[in-house]
Amino acid sequence: MNAALVEAYDRPPRYTTFADPEPAEGEVEVEITAAAMHPIVKSLANGTHYGATGKFPFIPGLDGTGRLKDGTRVYFGVTREGYGTFAERAVTQSWMCLRIPDTLDDVAVAAMMNPGMSSWAALKSRAQFVTGESVLILGATGAAGELAVQIAKRLGAGKVIAAGRNPEALARTKQRGADATISLLQDPAALTADFRKHFAETKIDIVLDYLWGQPAECLLDAISQKGLKHTGSRIRYVDIGGSASPTITLKAATLRSTGLEMLGSGFGSASLQQIMQAVDEFLTACAKAPMEISIKEARLKDVESLWNAPSQGARLVFKP
């Protein structure tokens, strides 16, 4: 079959031929129709993700859409080591396949499920979100962040505050349901003051963080400042990504002076069963009322030239 193949961490995958996967007992074969370039796909392929194995060659891609032998359209995740979804075919366990509702097309599902699941699982499973609570989203201008704004509102958030760098995308979050926005283009002192102002005005219950790094440090400094009305109240801080930096400096006083609870949401902090449950719930919600996400379609044969191209806020989806 044709597939994208990662042969080293320091260069993009190349389009070539690779042995077809053969289903084992309990597995099903899927003819792939679309697979998206999620940040985790790139970080696994360049060796920077904690799940990278260092075994070569391998086909990148964690999830996708396709058709089973009987023609059923499914969204699925892969479980076979070495065989990802940037290919014409894949095998997976049958319980990892979710039927795609007729109201949704394959490309949209491939683009939405992974980034949408990230905030759906973070809110419902990790933060134990309760209707009416307020949510601040750090990194709201990326594809996952824009979906997080919509998901928080869909789940019944009392107030959603979107923080991001891209001015156009930040303005667009207002159309997606954000009640307020914070620009991350400010210098650290001004940004901390802006965060502090919003915490003083709103009882923020949950923070979803796709960035980490300096934006997170400014936000945590704002939370720990004395004299805020929310001092002593519970704040669940859920890290989902680290696109700004993989590390932060965390002051001990931040934990002592607040009701802060720091959590992570991702592979490892949740089981595959929990993740697929979140995906199933999100898929059902999208079937009732689709959410908005910017998508760029491309041919899988162009993977090498597009691998490091700027995303410009759109989720890149490859079609075999």
CATH number at residue 235: 3.40.50.720
Same domain, 245 and 145: yes
Tell me how many domains the chain contains. Answer: 2
Give me the pLDDT at residue 100, please. Answer: 97
Same domain, 96 and 121: no
pTM of the entire predicted model: 0.90
Q: How far apart are CA 313 and CA 173, in angstroms?
A: 12
Same domain, 238 and 180: yes
Same domain, 294 and 252: no
Residue 108 lies in a domain: no
Give me the pLDDT at residue 248, please. Answer: 97
Residue 27 lies in a domain: yes
Same domain, 93 and 135: no
Give the type of residue at 92.
Answer: T
Residue 98 lies in a domain: yes
pLDDT (mean) for 90-115: 95
Same domain, 250 and 189: yes
Give me the pLDDT at residue 258, please. Answer: 86
Confidence class of residue 232 from pLDDT cuts 50, 70 and 90?
low
Residue 175 lies in a domain: yes
Same domain, 212 and 310: no
Same domain, 158 and 38: no
Same domain, 96 and 119: no
Q: Comparing C-alpha atoms, which of 113, 115, 60, 109 is closest to residue 306?
A: 60
Give me the pLDDT at residue 267, please. Answer: 80
Residue 271 lies in a domain: no
Check whether 273 has a pLDDT greater than 90.
no
Structural domain that includes position 218: 115-264
Give the type of residue at 292.
Answer: E
Confidence class of residue 310 from pLDDT cuts 50, 70 and 90?
confident
Residue 274 lies in a domain: no
Same domain, 213 and 296: no
The C-alpha angle with vertex 176 and arms to 145 and 153, in degrees rounded to 5, equals: 80
Residue 284 lies in a domain: no
Same domain, 24 and 154: no
Same domain, 130 and 231: yes
Check whether 315 has a pLDDT greater than 60.
yes
Digit-coded pLDDT (tens) for 125-169: 999 999 999 999 999 999 999 999 999 999 999 999 999 999 999
Residue 282 lies in a domain: no
Q: Is the peptide bond before 12 cis (omega within 30 degrees of 0)?
A: no
CATH of the domain at 70: 3.90.180.10
Q: How far apart are CA 160 and CA 157, in angstroms?
A: 7
Give me the pLDDT at residue 268, please. Answer: 80
